[in-house]
A and B are shown apart, each in its own frame.
Chain A
Amino acid sequence: EVELVESGGGLVQPGGSLRLSCAASGFTFSSYPMHWVRQAPGKGLEYVSAISSNGGSTYHANSVKGRFTISRDNSKNTLYLQMGSLRVEDMAVYYCARGMGLPGALDYWGQGTLVAVSS
């Protein structure tokens, strides 16, 4: 059974940093592109970042470019999102999701981890 479990969320002050992790199991992690999608409280879905199966290609939305970095460790079956220079508008539930391919829809999602940005 495919499972994605996010961790690392929490309360951080504006300008601070946080690293999210997504532990994957139940499939060959190194064969799939992976993604981060966020959802601000009461709002819709916003696409954040993507990484190819071998980590050689990444994408970041303009809203996070230069502040967030997506990476993966295929030996640990883990996806990461390093978040820096956090802003109030970054506050959201962050979901990791598996991609069906490149390009591909997002066929499995984690339960999400909440990032709160407040002074």
Chain B
Amino acid sequence: EIVLTQSPGTLSLSPGERATLSCGASQSISSSYLAWYQQKPGQAPRLLIYGASSRATGIPDRFSGSGSGTDFTLTISRLEPEDFAVYYCQQYGSPPRTFGQGTNLEIK
């Protein structure tokens, strides 16, 4: 089973700042089958990034994904108030399709 470790656990930033979230895998993820999701309280997760770097439909271009192998990054270039949420990475190349434990992006 591929274990995903997200860092930091909590990130405190202000609107307008740049956010960098990391996701590390215990073994290489094939074909960059890595996704990022955003979840707000009381809501279902929303797909942001798939294939490590492709934005999902309707996702603003301030969200970008990068990385390969075992190290992946989600970057939010300029934080908007609605971006404060919990973010999860998920690998879907090898069963079981594991999720990271999440990064809580909170307003400073």
Which residue of A37, A104, A106, A107 has the most chain B CB atoms within 10 A of its CB atom? A106
Contact: B56 with A107, CB < 8 Å?
Answer: yes
B99's nearest neighbour on chain A, judged by CB, is A45
Known contacts A44-B99, A45-B99: A103-B44 contact under CB 8 Å: no
Asked if B97 is an interface residue, CB under 8 A from chain A, the answer is yes
List B38-62 residues whose CB lies under 8 Å from chain A.
39, 43-47, 50-51, 56-57
Contact: B92 with A105, CB < 8 Å?
Answer: yes
Report the minimum CB–CB distance from A30 to chain B (whole Å).
21
Q: How far is the CA of A106 from the CA of B47 in the complex (A)?
A: 7
Asked if A59 is an interface residue, CB under 8 A from chain B, the answer is yes
B46's nearest neighbour on chain A, judged by CB, is A109
Interface residue range, chain A: 20 to 34
Q: How far is the CA of A61 from the CA of B98 in the complex (A)?
A: 10
Known contacts A103-B33, A105-B50, A105-B90: A45-B96 contact under CB 8 Å: no
Further pairs besides A47-B97, A104-B92, A109-B45: 15, Cβ < 8 Å: A44-B100, A45-B45, A45-B88, A46-B99, A47-B96, A47-B98, A105-B47, A105-B50, A105-B56, A105-B90, A105-B92, A106-B45, A107-B57, A109-B46, A110-B44
What residues of chain A have their CB less than 8 Å away from a CB belonging to chain B? 35, 37, 44-47, 50, 59, 61-62, 95, 100, 103-112
What residues of chain B have their CB less than 8 Å away from a CB belonging to chain A? 33, 35, 37, 39, 43-47, 50-51, 56-57, 88, 90, 92-93, 95-102
